[in-house]
Structure 1
C-alpha cells in the first residue's frame, strides 16, 4: 500500500471537518476521503518560524507519517499534521509515540472538542 500526498487546498479544508487530535508538537486531522486510500498532508504556518524552520519541521513530519501511516493509519482517510510551536525541538521518538497515540484516538473517534472561534 503506497501513501499518496494531499496537494489540493480543498482536500486540506475538507480534512479540517474531520476528527482533530491535538498533541504538544502537532495537531492531527483525520477525515474519510471516499475510498482514495491513505493520504497525508503537512502544513506549518509562518507563525512557527522562518522558511528554514518550517521546512525542517515538514521534513520531520513527513518522515513520521511515512513510518507510521502504513501500519497504523486509518484506511481510506486523509491525515493532516499541522505544526505547533515547539514541535521543532521535540524529540523524534517522543513525537512518534504521540503520533501513534493520536492515530489510535482518531481511530476510536475520540477527537478533541471543536475549536472556539475568536471574536
Structure 2
C-alpha cells in the first residue's frame, strides 16, 4: 500500500495522497487531515496555518479531487503569510502532481 502513496511539496504546503483500500465505488468520500508542526511557529501561527488549509480544502477538494482518497495537508512556515491565491495554486499543482486531481472532460 505504501507504493500507492504520493507526496508533493509546494512552497505553501505539502500534500500527501493515498487511495483508500476499501473504496471501490466512484461515490467514495474523500478524507482529509491537517497538520502543522512546531516548525511552522508558535501555537497562534500553527492554528492560523491549519485554518487557512481547512478553508482552502473546503473550497477546492470537493470538486477538484478524485473520490476515494485519503489526503493530508501539511503546513509549512510559508503557509501562515502566503497570499491565498498562491496557496490555491500550490494546492492545485500538488493535486495534479500527485495524480489526485479530478479529471475534467
Q: TM (normalized to structure 2)?
A: 0.81
Out of 10, 26, 43, the residue aligned to residue 51 of structure 1 is 43
| 2:14 alignment partner in structure 1 | 27
| 2:103 alignment partner in structure 1 | none
Runs of 4+ in 1 over 3 A off after TM superposition: none
- How many corresponding residue pairs? 95
Q: Which runs of 5+ in 2 are unaligned?
A: 101-105
Cα RMSD, aligned residues only: 2.1
Task: Indicate if the aligned counterparts of 2:13 and 2:90 stay in contact, CA closer than 8 A.
Answer: no
| 1:63 alignment partner in structure 2 | 55
* SS of the residue 1:89 aligns to: coil
More relative contact order in 1 or in 2 (CA 8 Å, sep 6+)? 2
Alpha-carbon distance, 1:82 to partner: 0.8
